[in-house]
Protein backbone atom coordinates (compact mmCIF):
# COMPACT_ATOMS: atom_id res chain seq x y z
CA UNK A 1 0.00 0.00 0.00
CA UNK A 2 1.49 3.33 -1.10
CA UNK A 3 1.47 6.31 1.21
CA UNK A 4 0.00 9.64 0.21
CA UNK A 5 3.41 11.20 -0.27
CA UNK A 6 4.60 8.27 -2.36
CA UNK A 7 1.61 8.70 -4.66
CA UNK A 8 2.22 12.44 -4.87
CA UNK A 9 5.84 11.81 -5.84
CA UNK A 10 4.72 9.31 -8.46
CA UNK A 11 2.38 11.87 -10.03
CA UNK A 12 5.08 14.53 -10.04
CA UNK A 13 7.36 12.12 -11.90
CA UNK A 14 4.65 11.33 -14.42
CA UNK A 15 4.17 15.03 -15.09
CA UNK A 16 7.92 15.54 -15.52
CA UNK A 17 7.85 13.96 -18.95
CA UNK A 18 5.59 16.72 -20.29
CA UNK A 19 7.51 19.50 -21.93
CA UNK A 20 4.78 22.15 -21.98
CA UNK A 21 1.38 23.05 -20.62
CA UNK A 22 -0.54 21.71 -23.61
CA UNK A 23 0.69 18.20 -22.89
CA UNK A 24 -0.12 18.58 -19.20
CA UNK A 25 -3.60 19.79 -20.01
CA UNK A 26 -4.20 17.08 -22.58
CA UNK A 27 -3.28 14.54 -19.95
CA UNK A 28 -5.59 16.12 -17.36
CA UNK A 29 -8.40 16.17 -19.90
CA UNK A 30 -7.81 12.44 -20.54
CA UNK A 31 -7.90 11.79 -16.79
CA UNK A 32 -11.12 13.77 -16.59
CA UNK A 33 -12.71 11.65 -19.28
CA UNK A 34 -11.69 8.39 -17.65
CA UNK A 35 -12.66 9.31 -14.08
CA UNK A 36 -14.72 6.52 -12.55
CA UNK A 37 -18.28 7.71 -12.54
CA UNK A 38 -19.79 8.66 -9.24
CA UNK A 39 -22.92 6.68 -8.40
CA UNK A 40 -25.90 8.57 -9.81
CA UNK A 41 -27.56 8.68 -6.41
CA UNK A 42 -24.77 10.97 -5.16
CA UNK A 43 -25.08 13.40 -8.07
CA UNK A 44 -27.65 15.45 -6.24
CA UNK A 45 -27.56 18.72 -4.38
CA UNK A 46 -26.82 17.09 -1.02
CA UNK A 47 -23.41 16.06 -2.32
CA UNK A 48 -22.79 19.22 -4.31
CA UNK A 49 -19.90 21.49 -3.46
CA UNK A 50 -20.84 24.64 -5.19
CA UNK A 51 -18.26 26.69 -6.93
CA UNK A 52 -19.82 29.34 -9.07
CA UNK A 53 -17.85 28.32 -12.15
CA UNK A 54 -18.04 24.56 -12.17
CA UNK A 55 -19.85 22.09 -9.95
CA UNK A 56 -18.28 19.32 -7.91
CA UNK A 57 -20.08 16.38 -6.34
CA UNK A 58 -18.28 14.42 -3.64
CA UNK A 59 -19.15 11.31 -1.66
CA UNK A 60 -17.10 9.49 0.99
CA UNK A 61 -17.54 6.04 2.51
CA UNK A 62 -15.62 4.23 5.19
CA UNK A 63 -14.53 0.77 4.03
CA UNK A 64 -12.66 -0.98 6.83
CA UNK A 65 -10.40 1.73 8.18
CA UNK A 66 -9.99 3.54 4.87
CA UNK A 67 -12.02 6.22 3.16
CA UNK A 68 -13.17 5.72 -0.40
CA UNK A 69 -13.99 8.99 -2.11
CA UNK A 70 -15.90 9.30 -5.36
CA UNK A 71 -16.50 12.58 -7.13
CA UNK A 72 -17.60 14.21 -10.34
CA UNK A 73 -17.76 17.61 -12.01
CA UNK A 74 -19.50 19.20 -14.96
CA UNK A 75 -16.21 20.66 -16.27
CA UNK A 76 -13.64 18.31 -17.73
CA UNK A 77 -10.48 20.04 -16.46
CA UNK A 78 -11.97 20.16 -12.98
CA UNK A 79 -12.75 16.46 -13.38
CA UNK A 80 -9.16 15.71 -14.39
CA UNK A 81 -7.86 17.42 -11.29
CA UNK A 82 -10.43 15.53 -9.22
CA UNK A 83 -8.99 12.31 -10.65
CA UNK A 84 -5.55 13.34 -9.40
CA UNK A 85 -6.89 14.31 -5.97
CA UNK A 86 -8.80 11.04 -5.60
CA UNK A 87 -5.76 9.03 -6.59
CA UNK A 88 -3.91 10.73 -3.75
CA UNK A 89 -6.56 10.79 -1.05
CA UNK A 90 -8.90 7.90 -1.70
CA UNK A 91 -8.32 4.53 -0.07
CA UNK A 92 -6.25 6.03 2.76
CA UNK A 93 -6.60 6.06 6.50
CA UNK A 94 -8.40 9.17 7.85
CA UNK A 95 -5.39 10.28 9.95
CA UNK A 96 -3.11 10.26 6.92
CA UNK A 97 -5.63 12.26 4.94
CA UNK A 98 -5.89 14.86 7.69
CA UNK A 99 -2.11 15.26 7.83
CA UNK A 100 -1.53 15.41 4.08
CA UNK A 101 -1.00 18.65 2.18
CA UNK A 102 -1.64 19.58 -1.45
CA UNK A 103 1.64 21.36 -2.24
CA UNK A 104 2.32 18.84 -4.99
CA UNK A 105 -0.39 20.56 -7.07
CA UNK A 106 1.91 23.63 -7.31
CA UNK A 107 4.72 21.41 -8.51
CA UNK A 108 2.42 20.10 -11.25
CA UNK A 109 1.81 23.67 -12.40
CA UNK A 110 -1.88 23.48 -11.57
CA UNK A 111 -1.94 25.80 -8.61
CA UNK A 112 -4.37 28.27 -10.18
CA UNK A 113 -7.05 25.59 -10.33
CA UNK A 114 -7.07 25.27 -6.56
CA UNK A 115 -7.31 28.99 -5.96
CA UNK A 116 -10.60 30.00 -4.33
CA UNK A 117 -10.90 32.88 -6.83
CA UNK A 118 -11.33 30.33 -9.60
CA UNK A 119 -14.50 29.35 -7.79
CA UNK A 120 -14.49 25.97 -9.50
CA UNK A 121 -15.31 23.96 -6.37
CA UNK A 122 -11.87 22.36 -6.02
CA UNK A 123 -10.60 24.32 -3.04
CA UNK A 124 -13.86 23.62 -1.22
CA UNK A 125 -13.57 19.99 -2.29
CA UNK A 126 -10.23 19.64 -0.52
CA UNK A 127 -11.72 21.15 2.62
CA UNK A 128 -14.60 18.71 2.35
CA UNK A 129 -12.24 15.75 1.86
CA UNK A 130 -10.54 16.72 5.12
CA UNK A 131 -13.85 17.22 6.92
CA UNK A 132 -14.92 13.70 6.00
CA UNK A 133 -11.57 12.42 7.25
CA UNK A 134 -12.01 14.18 10.59
CA UNK A 135 -15.54 12.83 10.94
CA UNK A 136 -14.52 9.26 10.08
CA UNK A 137 -11.51 9.33 12.37
CA UNK A 138 -13.81 10.17 15.25
CA UNK A 139 -15.97 7.26 14.24
CA UNK A 140 -13.01 4.87 14.17
CA UNK A 141 -11.67 6.01 17.53
Partner 1 sequence: MINIQKIRADFPILNQKINGKELIYFDNAATSQTPQIVIDKISNYYLGYNSNIHRGVHFLSQKATEAYENARKTIQLHFNASRPYEIIFTSGATHSINIIALGYTKILKKGDEIIISEMEHHSNIVPWQMLCERTGAILKIAPINEDGVLVLDKFKSMCSKKTKLVVITHVSNALGTVNPIESILSISHSFNAKVIIDGAQAAPHFKIDFQALDIDYYVASSHKLYGPTGVGMLYGKERLLNELSLYHGGGEMIHQVTFKKTTYAELPHKFEPGTPNIAGVIGFGEAINYTNSIGLNNINSYEKELMEYATKELDKIKDLKIYGKAKDKTAIISFNIGKLHPYDLGAILDKFGIAVRTGHHCAQPIIDYYKIPGTIRVSFSFYNTKEEIDIMVDSLIRATKMLQ
**Contact set for partner 1, span 100-129 (CB under 8 A):** 112-113, 119-120
H helices present in the chain, as ranges: 4-16, 21-34, 76-89, 94-99, 104-107, 122-140
Q: C-beta of 52: minimal distance to partner 1 in Å?
A: 6
Residue 74 in the binding site for partner 1 (CB under 8 A): yes
Angle between helical axes of 122-140 and 76-89 (0-180°, round to 10): 30
Binding range to partner 1, per CB under 8 A, among 2-10, 51-59, 100-108, 123-131: 51-59
Question: Where in the sequence numbering do the catalytic residues fall?
Answer: 52
Min separation Cβ 70 and partner 1, Å: 20
Q: Which of residues 25 and 42 has its CB atom nearest to partner 1 in the complex?
A: 25
What are residue 66's phi and psi, to 5 degrees? -120, 155
Cα→Cα distances 40→110, 120, 132, Å = 28, 21, 20
25 sits near partner 1 (criterion: CB under 8 A): yes
Q: What is the DSSP letter of 36?
A: P
Judged by the rule CB under 8 A, the positions of this chain that interact with partner 1 are: 21-22, 25-26, 29, 52-55, 74-78, 112-113, 119-120
Amino acid sequence: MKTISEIQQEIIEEFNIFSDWTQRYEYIIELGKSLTLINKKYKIDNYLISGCQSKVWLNAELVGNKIIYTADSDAIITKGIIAILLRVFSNQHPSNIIDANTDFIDVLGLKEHLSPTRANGLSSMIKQIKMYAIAFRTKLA
